[in-house]
Amino acid sequence: MVQTTSGAGTRLRTFERAVSVRIAESALALSGVLDLEQLHGWLAARKRQEVFDVRRVAFDEMRKWSRASETGNYAHESGKFFSVEGLSVAVSGGPVKEWSQPILNQPEVGILGILVKEFDGVLHCLMQAKMEPGNAGGVQLSPTVQATRSNYTQVHKGRTVPYLEYFRDTGGHRVLADVLQSEQGSWFYRKRNRNMVVEVSSDVEVLDGFCWITVGQLHRLLAEYDVINMDTRTVLSCLPFSAAGIASLFSFGGDDFQSSVIRSLSEDNGSLHSAGDVLSWITECRVGNDVATKLIPLAETTGWRLGDDVIEHETGAFFDVIAVEVSAGNREVHGWCQPMISPHGTGLVAVLVKRISGVLHVLVNARVEPGYLDVIELAPTVQCAPENYEHLPPEARPAYLDDVLEAPPDAIRYDTVLSEEGGRFFQAQNRYLVIEVGDDEHEDVRQDFRWLTVHQLTALIRHSHYVNVQARSLVSCLHSLSFAAPGGLG
């Protein structure tokens, strides 16, 4: 599988187009080990079997969690997992320059890993139908492994994490993606997970609750509400998804939307800005924003009411911190308590896209969030909970929000409600939108916005600190609009 240079006896590897071709082939496959109908049947059965009870409790009712008397922080008795602390923030831009807030501090790096394997020549992903306490709609499709280090070093003395060994020791397997990526920078302090895709060629036992699914099937399910969970979306976005080398598989010479997405997957078709100019713009945005953050005791946050069963902002905006008790059937442990972040209302996560010379470009925003390690990350055009702006002046209204809210129906290319991480966030749903605008619209954009191709985003996602978790979700959504068209190509 590895191409080598032509010299005799060489040990060197050269650029491998083969991987992206195999991913494209899997994206074209709407049928695999299971067909779509069987897949839906399996998911429905899992939803019936996974019986969870999630109940709100008071903070002092959380077993194994306690509040430190000096700081007011909430922490697990093991000192592991995560804690709820305070963060003070000072930024140079934006309508609000200084604030403090509760934040989840989870310094340990977890693993989000998808195991892939070929069946009949087509790559399949081993997915788990998994319930998380915060999930809207119950069970969602999660990666093969989704584990904090505390999980897999078994702090809670539960069962071992299945399939973990493929990701902890990749020797003998083929690593298709492996990168540390940030998560919600407004709710997590510098949290990162290791996003991995590992290909195995040996036999793999399929445990109860797991299923082999093609990329095309995952893309199809990504059009449904609350089926593909956040961890799956971010790991999928890290795949070396490309149109390079697939010309023989697929004709995309047209001037339709789908062809523009496929062209946008390949560097060869060009981009409005060169790769160097994009990196320079990111550097400029990092230097141009001063962000000072400091972990503080939760008790010292200002503007937040620290109640017995809820921590909430005085204005009622943003989010609450709550406590839940979970009774679970088949998890590593048979029930637990934990704090969760419960955001208000359904958020809006949207990109404007347009075809420039036939190549799809995405309007991204260099966005400051206090939990980022390196000042800014590229975010969707609009990422907000519209409710949060009600008590702020009109000039604080997010840029391009009206373009999104007033988009005509025939400009909407993707529109699905998806959940954020159900292990930390309670019923955190966002409406994810891809909205096409005319080639002549928004030619001049603000300094903190740029039109990039999907390929440029995919290239940045190979590295840490560049593309935020919401934008990575939308990259997966855009990938789903490329090869697997509604109506079926598989």
Binding positions for its own copies, rule: CB under 8 A: 2, 4-5, 7, 9-16, 109, 170, 175-180, 194, 240, 267-277, 279-280, 283-284, 286-287, 356-359, 373-374, 462-465
Q: Is 360 helix (H, G, I), strand (E, B) or coil?
A: strand
Task: Name the residue nearer to its own copies (CB basis): 26 or 416.
Answer: 26
- Shortest spacing between CB 214 and its own copies, in angstroms: 22
Find, among 166, 196, 376, 187, the residue nearest to 291 by Cα.
Answer: 376
Task: Name the residue nearer to its own copies (CB basis): 67 or 174.
Answer: 174
Task: Name the residue nearer to its own copies (CB basis): 32 or 113.
Answer: 113
- Shortest spacing between CB 235 and its own copies, in angstroms: 13
Our measurement of the distance from residue 141's CA atom to the centroid of its chain's CA atoms, rounded to an integer in Å, reads 13
- Shortest spacing between CB 281 and its own copies, in angstroms: 9
Task: Name the residue nearer to its own copies (CB basis): 13 or 55.
Answer: 13
* Exposure letters 133-164 (e unless 16+ CB within 10 A, then b): bbbbbbbbbbbbbbbbbbbbeebbeeeebbbb
Tokens of 388: 């949060």
Residues 6+ apart with CB under 8 A from 332: 151, 156, 158, 159, 160, 161
Task: Name the residue nearer to its own copies (CB basis): 2 or 96.
Answer: 2
As beta bridge partners, residue 87 has: 101, 295
Give the length of the chain.
Answer: 490
- Shortest spacing between CB 312 and its own copies, in angstroms: 31
Task: Name the residue nearer to its own copies (CB basis): 64 or 463.
Answer: 463
Task: Name the residue nearer to its own copies (CB basis): 96 or 287.
Answer: 287
As beta bridge partners, residue 56 has: 324
- Shortest spacing between CB 175 and its own copies, in angstroms: 5
Find, among 295, 296, 246, the residue nearest to 269 by Cα.
Answer: 246
Find, among 55, 43, 54, 209, the residue nearest to 133 by Cα.
Answer: 54
Residues 6+ apart with CB under 8 A from 362: 351, 352, 353, 381, 451, 452, 453, 454, 457, 474, 478
Task: Name the residue nearer to its own copies (CB basis): 56 or 286.
Answer: 286
The answer for 64, left when phi > 0, alpha when psi is -120 to 50, beta otherwise, is: left
- Shortest spacing between CB 169 and its own copies, in angstroms: 10
- Shortest spacing between CB 284 and its own copies, in angstroms: 8
- Shortest spacing between CB 427 and its own copies, in angstroms: 31
Report whether 463 contacts 179 (CB < 8 A): yes
- Shortest spacing between CB 356 and its own copies, in angstroms: 6
* Exposure letters 211-227 (e unless 16+ CB within 10 A, then b): bbbbbbbbbbbbbeebb
Report whether 166 contacts 194 (CB < 8 A): no
Task: Name the residue nearer to its own copies (CB basis): 16 or 332.
Answer: 16
Task: Name the residue nearer to its own copies (CB basis): 97 or 462.
Answer: 462
Q: Is 16 helix (H, G, I), strand (E, B) or coil?
A: coil
Torsion, CA 355, CA 359, CA 360, CA 363, rounded to 10: -80
- Shortest spacing between CB 5 and its own copies, in angstroms: 5
Task: Name the residue nearer to its own copies (CB basis): 323 or 364.
Answer: 364
- Shortest spacing between CB 100 and its own copies, in angstroms: 20
